[in-house]
Amino acid sequence: MNNTGRIIKGVGGFYYIAFEGDIYESKATALFRKNNIKLAVGDYVEFFINDDGTAYIKDIILRENIFLRPPVANVDDVFIVISSKEPNINLQLVDRMILLSFYNGIKPTIIVNKTDIDMDGSRKIKEKYENSGFEVHLSSIIDEGSVSEIHSLTTGKTIMFMGVSGVGKSSLISKLIGKDLETGDISKKTSRGKHTTRHVELLSYEDNSYIVDTPGFSSLSLDFLENDRELESYYPEFKNYECKFNNCKHIDEPKCGVKDALENKEIEKFRYENYLYFVNELKNRRF
């Protein structure tokens, strides 16, 4: 009998499908390997259940989107979780995650976590990204009000949480879903979280509400972008200014509205500097 369910986890060639309140351990049919089709957490799939209780995935229902790193499909929103301290923030890595989200068609929301450790620094980061056109929220797992605020943003959606290891993603998600996830302290040697998320899993916590906790990023290549011309469209703050030339790259061109805005401190300096770094990285990469 064919059924329609959703993959919530994939481990060691097995896929775990949620269907009518139950979870079925399943494998994909040989056609997926033959056609080089890879399944992802979040995929809606057609599958059949054998008389002995084993299950096999037959087909994928059309995806809304697919993140390849990490492999997650049908995401409604992306929450990029950052902290000003423990670990110290890497603004370039944050901007790389922003680009990855935009590439997959989603403008991310920024969550500045661990405000109980450094409220002043958290507010400064919030201001910087709000000035750059992003929705930003402050949070701390010991502040029920901030957790409730974030919870209100997740209802009825599939939200993918991204961030570096140690920023408190799993602890925040635990508060949101009311279930403890495996978390750990910050390693003194690496400034990264210990015993944190190692695989991607879709966590159901309310009717039609899911959160995806993903392994922490330590780096992120821009190999998902074809060329540097894509970058400009992923910088929302650039769209507020007009340049003399329609194909302006905002680097050496005269009468550039973006550079004028930078000089007038209307655009955050770190965002523009990261933009220049990414342009150079994409120009000089080797295939």
List per-block mean pLDDT (blocks of 10 residues) for the chain, which spans 287 residues: 88 89 88 85 92 86 88 95 93 96 96 97 97 97 95 93 91 90 44 50 86 86 89 93 92 95 97 96 79
Q: According to the model, what pLDDT value does residue 135 have?
A: 97
**How high is the pLDDT of residue 195?**
39
Residue 248 inside a domain? The answer is yes
Domain count, the chain: 3
Q: pLDDT at position 173, please? A: 93
36 and 124 co-located in one domain: no
Phi, psi of 135 (to 5 degrees): -80, 125
Domain edge (last residue) among 152, 178, 213: 213
What's the confidence (pLDDT) of residue 136? Answer: 98
pLDDT at 194: 43
User: How far is 274 from 261, CA to CA, in rounded Å?
Assistant: 16
Same domain for 71 and 58: no
Same domain, 21 and 151: no
| CATH code, domain with 39 | 2.40.50.140
Residue at which a domain ends, from 24, 42, 63: 63
Residues 117 and 89 in one domain: yes
Within 8 A by CB and 6+ apart from 230, the residues are 103
Same-domain status, 91 and 206: yes
Residues 76 and 24 in one domain: no
Give SS3 for 109: strand
Residues 77 and 59 in one domain: no
Give the domain extent around 75.
67-213
| 175 and 232 in a common domain | no
The CA distance from 167 to 71, in Å, is 21
200 within a domain of the structure (yes/no): yes
Q: What is the CATH number of the domain that holds 245?
A: 1.10.40.50
Adjacent-strand bridge partners of 160: 78, 212
- Tell me, yes or no, whether 143 lies in a domain: yes
Residue 123 is assigned to a structural domain of this protein: yes
| pLDDT recorded at residue 2 | 78
The verdict on 162 and 278 lying in the same domain is: no
Same domain, 50 and 6: yes
The CATH number given to whatever domain includes residue 191 is: 3.40.50.300
Output the pTM of the full model. Answer: 0.88
Q: Calculate ∠ Cα 55-56-60, nearest 5°.
A: 130
Does residue 218 sit within a domain?
no
Instruction: State the Cα–Cα distance between residues 185 and 194, nearest whole angstrom.
Output: 6
One domain, residues 129 and 167 = yes
Q: Which residues contact 271 (CB under 8 A, 6 or more apart)?
A: 95, 128, 132, 235, 237
Q: Are residues 200 and 244 in the same domain?
A: no
